[in-house]
Amino acid sequence: MSEYLPGLAGVPATKSNISDIDGQKGILTYRGFPLEQLAEHSSFEETTLLLLDGELPSATSLADFDMQLKKNRVVKYHIRELMKNLPSRGHPMEMLQTAVASLGMFYPGKECLTGEDFCENLNYVHDMTVKIIARMATIVTMWQHLRNGYEPVNPRKDLSYAENFLYMLTGKEPDPLLAKILDVCLILHAEHTINASTFSVLVTASTLASPYSVVAGAIGTLSGPLHGGANQKVIEMLHAIGSPDKAEEYISNRLKNKEVIWGMGHREYKTKDPRAKILQKLFRNLIEKRGGNINPLFEIALEVERICEERLASKGVYANVDFYSGILYAEMGIPADQFTTIFAVARSAGWLAHWREQLADNRIFRPTQVYIGSGIRTYTPIDQR
C-alpha cells in the first residue's frame, strides 16, 4: 500500500479484542460489554480487570486485585522530593509524564523485556500493571498539594479507587455521590480502541521499552488539546461565553471563522458520543440530589449543545465525552488543569491492556513514507556556494 492517508485515517494498525466502536449507532463496548451496563453496574476496579484479563472477574479475583491496588498506592519519598523541585506553575500533565517516567528508576521493570521474544511471564506483566495504575492516582493527587506548598495526603486502604482519589485530593471524607460519579467517569475514560495515545502505547511497547516509558509516552500524546486536553478547553470556552444568551453569537463567530468548538465532534462517532450521554445523565442526577441547584456552566453547555445540534447534526457532529466531563469535575472542585490527568489515570487501564496485548504478538512498528523531497544531488563545498 503506497497511498498516503493523513493521520492514518481508517488504516488498521493492529488486531485487538479489547474494545469496539460502532460510530454510526453510537455504541462502545469493552470486551463485548456495552459501556452503559458497566457504568451502571460495575466499578473502575472491576472494569480495569475486565480490560486486562478479558472476562468479568470472580468476587475473589476482584477482591485480590483491589487489595493489590491498595497496597501499591504509596510511592517512595524520592518521587515526592522530585515533584517538589518541579515548577509549581507547570501543567499537571507535564508533571505526570515526568513522574511516571521517573518511576522506572525507582521501581525497575525491564527484566522481562530483554529479547526479541515476547514476555511470557504474565505475573510480571500483571504486577507492573498494578503498580502503575495504583500510583497514577497517587501522583496526581500529591501534585495538587505539593504545587501549593503543602505535604500530600497519605492514601487509605479502606477506600475504593475513586473514594481514595477524592480523599487524597481534598483531605476530606469523600462525598459518596461524588465518589460514585467519579467512579463512572473513570470507567467511561478507561478505554477507547486505537486512539492517538493508545497508538503511542503500541509503538513504544513494540520496541520492548519499559511499561513506565510506554505510559509516559501515552501521557504526552494525551496532553494535546486535540486529544485529552479538550475537556479543559471546554471549561475555558464556557467561561468565555459567560451566559446562555451569549452562546448563539459565540458559536456563530466560531463557525464563521472555522474555529474549533471544543467538545463537539468525534472522528469515530456520527451520532452523540455514548459517554457524553451518560455524563449528561450523571449531572442531571447530581442536580436532582442537590435540590435543583444548577451550575451556571451546565446551563451554558446545554444551550451550546442545542445550537450545535441545530447547525452541525446534519454533518454528524455532536457532543463528545469532553463536553460534559469537565463540568462534572468542576462541580467536584477539581481544578481545570487537572482534568486531563484524571483522563490519564483512567486511561492507564486501557493503555496497559493494549501493552499486554502488544507483547503477546509483538513486531516493532516500522511504517513507510511517501518521499516528496529532492532527487539525488551533488554536494557543493561551502566556499563555492
Residues serving a catalytic function are 266, 322
- Phi–psi pair at 19, nearest 5 degrees: -145, 165
- Going from the C-alpha of 142 to that of each of 4, 151, 321, the distances in angstroms are 44, 8, 26
Who's near 31: CB < 8 A, 6+ residues apart?
17, 18, 19, 50, 51, 54, 55
Torsion angle of the four alpha carbons 200, 205, 208, 210, in this order, in degrees rounded to the nearest 10? 90
Q: Is 44 in contact with 183 (CB distance < 8 Å)?
A: yes
For residues 282 and 323, what is the distance between their CA atoms, to the nearest angstrom?
Answer: 13
346-371 in b/e form (b: 16+ CB < 10 A) is bbbbbbbbbbbbbbeebeeeeeeeee
Could you tell me what percentage of the chain is helix, strand and coil, using 3-state DSSP and rounding each to the nearest 5?
Answer: 60, 5, 40
Among candidate residues 215, 235, 234, 161, the one with its CA nearest the CA of residue 347: 215
Q: How far is CA 107 from the centre of its chain?
A: 23
Query: Over 252-317, what HEC string results?
Result: HHHHHCCCCCCCECCCCCCCCCHHHHHHHHHHHHHHHHCCCCCCHHHHHHHHHHHHHHHHHHHHCC
Q: How large is the greatest C-alpha to C-alpha distance in the chain, in angstroms? A: 81
User: Which helix or strand (DSSP H or E) is residue 324 part of?
Assistant: helix 321-331
